[in-house]
């Protein structure tokens, strides 16, 4: 496992967060980020996996301890719903 340094990840735009929430509520696997046009996986889709993959997903829904076990770089995440 490599050494990771804290990632400076900008927060998603309010529009991206609204798109993410709507996609999760619709049971969709992802949405297109309005700023970049890139496909972003939803928390809904990520929860269907066995656990954190360690890739630093924007909407990683897994607890911090699970993220650390998976080797996820220390970066913020914006899951939906936010309280999870």
81 found inside a domain: no
Containing H/E element for 18? Answer: helix 14-25
User: Counting Cβ atoms within 10 Å, is residue 76 exposed (0-12), middle (13-18) or buried (19+)?
Assistant: middle
Place of tokens 């999870």: 84
**pLDDT surpassing 60 at residue 51:** yes
5 found inside a domain: no
Q: 63 with 46: CB under 8 angstroms?
A: no
The percent of residues above 70 in pLDDT, for the chain, comes to: 87
Q: What's the number of domains the chain is made of?
A: 1
76 found inside a domain: no
75 found inside a domain: no
Could you tell me the pLDDT band of residue 4, with boundaries at 50, 70 and 90?
A: very low
Which structural domain, as residue segments, surrounds residue 50? 14-69
18 found inside a domain: yes
77 found inside a domain: no
């Amino acid at each position: 496992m490599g050494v990771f340094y804290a990632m400076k990840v900008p927060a998603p735009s309010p529009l991206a967060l609204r798109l993410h929430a709507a996609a999760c509520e619709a049971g969709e696997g992802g949405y297109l980020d309005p700023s970049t046009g890139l496909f972003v996986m939803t928390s809904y889709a990520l929860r269907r996996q066995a656990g954190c993959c360690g890739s630093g997903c924007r909407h990683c829904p897994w607890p911090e301890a699970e993220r650390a076990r998976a080797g996820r770089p220390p970066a913020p995440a914006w899951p939906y719903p936010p309280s999870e």
